[in-house]
Structure 1
Amino acid sequence: MQPNHQSINADYGQYVCAQHAESAPLLGNRPQRQTPAGASFGFSVFNLMNAIMGSGILGLSYAMANTGIIGFSVLLLIVACLASYSIHLLLRMCIQTAVTSYEDIGLFAFGSPGKVVVAIAILIQNIGDCNKKMVHPLSASDEPHHGISNFSDECKPKLFGFSKESAFALPTMAFSFLCHTSVLPIYCELKSPSKSRMQNVANLGIVISFLIYFISALFGYLTFYDKVESELLQGYSRYLPNDALITSVRLLILLAVLLTVPLIHFPARKAFMMLLFPSYPFSYILHVLVTVALNITIVLLAIYVPDIRNVFGVVGSTTSTCLLFIFPGLFYIKLSMDDLLSCQKLGACALLILGICIGACSLTLITMNWAYNA
């Protein structure tokens, strides 16, 4: 039996000593395809931020309105730190198993069922992500304008707050920081890849995203206070329906949707094909049919579920929580050869338990909120 301070590459019989794991190359001695030099540190940060930043930014002002400025700041910081730690676990597992996709880590941990569960989560997550990007271009507010007096109590910001709508806060934040399906591909493309270098990429990307999220949420909240919409730009469109700047922003969002939805659609189609046609040879007809079917599903969901808060709530409390908290902790506990009482394994256990609690509590509160409003 090999000592516990080493981790096993099951495919190639390779061992990576724990003390060298931080600087170990991604795939160790595994034969690799000759590629260009790779992406620079700056471009890798940019790519990761592109994976992090999305329509979640439009729902954070609503989360701040229902948790207060300080409450929101603390929760957002906790989710950002947990996202960074779960990436740390994914990178350690990537070095140990020498695989480069989230689904394959699930395969190493629990065989085919693990791979299928991860693929289902990625499929639902990406359909939800595409749906929330489609909600804004397809929706328009026809409700009358309601002014807010600058001298009323409505314009006093809350430092702390809790209401039945606060249940949507953590799922929205989890949705907003989810980039874990893109971490390993970005790791593979990084110039001189090592765990410590990729962890620095992830930490910097998360810190910059945190600052952007906080600033945008703060100014959105201080613009509308308790009248902030669950989708921020809907509020601007309602109060300034004919404003040229708001119209320009909507057009830019439409352009962003046209350019980014195909990128999000790719892993969804890949997961769908993996689930239903795992050994089927490539076919353009099947490729087109699956693409059309997924797009029809996304458009129908955008039409019939126009409230972006519901998308953030349900997807954020289920698949986002699994991919961000539960799966990294669970897979690390299964794959790691560390001692059960080691700091890393205890941290993975804590991440797993916290993820289950956040997902279960948020989904329960959201369901109760729907029942109350029905």
Structure 2
Amino acid sequence: MIIIGDVLSGTSSSGAHHAGVLEGWFGEHWWNARAFVLLITTLFVFSPLACFKRIDSLSYTSALSVALAVVFLVITVGITIVKLLNGSIAMPRLMPDVTDLTSFWKLFTTVPVLVTAFICHYNVHSIDNELEDSTQIKPVVRTALALCSSVYIMTSIFGFLLFGDGTLDDVLANFDMDLGIPYSSLLNDAVRVSYAAHLMLVFPIVFFPLRLNLDGLLFPSARPFHQANMRFALITIGLIATIFLGANFIPSIWDAFQFTGATAAVCLGFIFPASLTLR
């Protein structure tokens, strides 16, 4: 949700203001401010999609989100290749610039972000439970890992080639400048809108196991979650409200990734599995 706010309403987390899509189209108004845009997105996109009680109900939105991520990738790769061919991209710095002890320790701030990428398995059990043939889970996981790895590796490579040392914490904020190619403004908007829509459709997939596990933590002896409408509604509303407030007050996605990677990701990826094995 933080990235959606950055893309649609703009961000100033890096010190300089980067205009969002709505601000670029219509100028700065109260109705395209971050809080209002996220409120409308929460009420009319997130809330309806979060009402599904089975994860297979989100199969079509999930497929569409993958397609939108591929659109973002294709446009980014195309822009980078065009600029490489016309010689307008300088060779990016391949190694970190370590000049003192402070810059050396700063390298380790990337570790929590990288660790976060290793906890993408929280939906596996829900998907496995709803598959008609449970033996399909291994091909499903392999396909998902291959597709996601390809998309994100190529995005990082071509995104860094395109923007070099100017690459921001949220690379989508870089797409508010003149790219130096024909139809630059149109391509910028296509990249940001497609990825914002991708994130909106991904949200309920990530939200589903969060709600399910929180219910299991708070009400371990209660009747099945999908049969308790009141409990389902209260937990859903509480979580969405908390996420909405966090997206408005956390200044940068980098801060969110660092906190998650240093706490939840370490526990889910390393401590809890080891504890279960020892037990």
* Of 116, 121, 124, the match for 1:175: 116
- How many angstroms does 1:332 deviate by? 2.2
- The alignment-based identity, stated in percent, is 28
- How many angstroms does 1:248 deviate by? 2.4
Aligned to 2:229: 284
* Of 317, 320, 329, the match for 2:274: 329
* Of 211, 222, 238, the match for 2:150: 211
Aligned to 1:57: none
Aligned to 1:243: 185
Map Cα deviations across residues 145-197 of structure 1 (whole Å, 9 max, x no partner). 8xxxx9xxx94433332544422323222222422212233444557545xx7
1:255 and 2:197 correspond: yes
Aligned to 2:76: none
8 Å CA contact retained: 2:3, 2:170: no
**Equivalent runs, 1:1-374 vs 2, <5 Å:** 131-132=1-2, 134-137=4-7, 139-141=9-11, 143=16, 155-161=90-96, 163=103, 164-188=105-129, 193-194=134-135, 198-199=137-138, 201-239=140-178, 243-280=185-222, 282-334=227-279
8 Å CA contact retained: 1:221, 1:228: yes
8 Å CA contact retained: 1:269, 1:291: yes
Q: Highest Rg: 1 or 2?
A: 1
Aligned to 1:44: none
TM-score in terms of structure 2 length: 0.58
Q: Which runs of 4+ in 1 moved over 6 A?
A: none
8 Å CA contact retained: 1:133, 1:261: no
Change in CA separation of 1:269 and 1:263 when aligned onto 2, cut-off 3 Å: same
CA distance in 1, matches of 2:276, 2:213: 19
Aligned to 1:359: none
Which structure 2 segments of 5+ residues have no match? 19-83
- How many angstroms does 1:228 deviate by? 0.6
TM-score in terms of structure 1 length: 0.44
Change in CA separation of 1:255 and 1:182 when aligned onto 2, cut-off 3 Å: same
Which structure 1 segments of 5+ residues have no match? 1-130, 335-374
CA distance in 1, matches of 2:17, 2:148: 34
8 Å CA contact retained: 1:134, 1:299: no
- How many angstroms does 1:308 deviate by? 0.5
- How many angstroms does 1:303 deviate by? 1.1
CA distance in 1, matches of 2:8, 2:217: 30
CA distance in 1, matches of 2:115, 2:185: 32
CA distance in 2, matches of 1:323, 1:268: 13
| Number of aligned positions between the proteins | 194
